[in-house]
Amino acid sequence: MEKTIDNFITKLLEKYKAAGANIERKPALFADETAQLVTIAPFLNIKSYLYFLSQMGTLILTLNDGSHITFYGLDDWEEGMNIFDYAVPGKNGFHMFMDVCSPEGEILYFSYNSAEPDMDVVWIAPDCEGEEGHYTKTDMSFTDVLKLIEEEKIQALNKAYH
């Protein structure tokens, strides 16, 4: 699993303009913060997601069509980008880990549901403050999301929900 995530990180950083806390790829730069997250939010015990966090922290990618993808991290790279700046999970029971913003400003949020502990099942919503009915359970895992980004197919989800 770690090798798979490392390969995706490498491909994404090579393919897209990137900004973030660890684009230099220092190994396990955020391992301590990731361990702290799991003690606070044990429902996030999702190996692929936690490994990504431990390696990258915050990451912002600019896709070829002008869309932006933001992975929220465990670092102090930029205010408002740290997972701990917000309740984990949020008051609606979801933990937002990423968003996709189209060039037109439409945003789609990617989350985990605290009611499904240790489940690598991604939920999406067009509103980060959405009530439970606004979230849609997908059949995607964290790795599937990385693959969609790498293949430049993630934007289709954004269009489908707006």
Q: Helix, strand, or coil here: 24?
A: coil
Residue 84 belongs to domain spanning: 2-160
Which ranges of the chain have pLDDT less than 70? 128-133, 162
pLDDT, tens only, 89-107: 988 899 999 999 999 999 9
Q: Could you tell me if 113 and 94 are in contact, meaning their C-beta atoms sit under 8 angstroms apart?
A: yes
Q: What is the pLDDT of residue 156?
A: 82
Query: For the chain, what is the domain count?
Result: 1
- Among residues 39, 106, 99, the alpha carbon closest in space to that of 72 is found at 99
Q: Could you tell me if 158 and 99 are in contact, meaning their C-beta atoms sit under 8 angstroms apart?
A: no
Greatest alpha-carbon span in the chain? 40
Q: What is the pLDDT of residue 78?
A: 77
Residue 122: CATH number of its domain: 3.40.1580
Q: What is the pLDDT of residue 80?
A: 78
Q: Give the pTM.
A: 0.93
Q: What is the pLDDT of residue 148?
A: 96
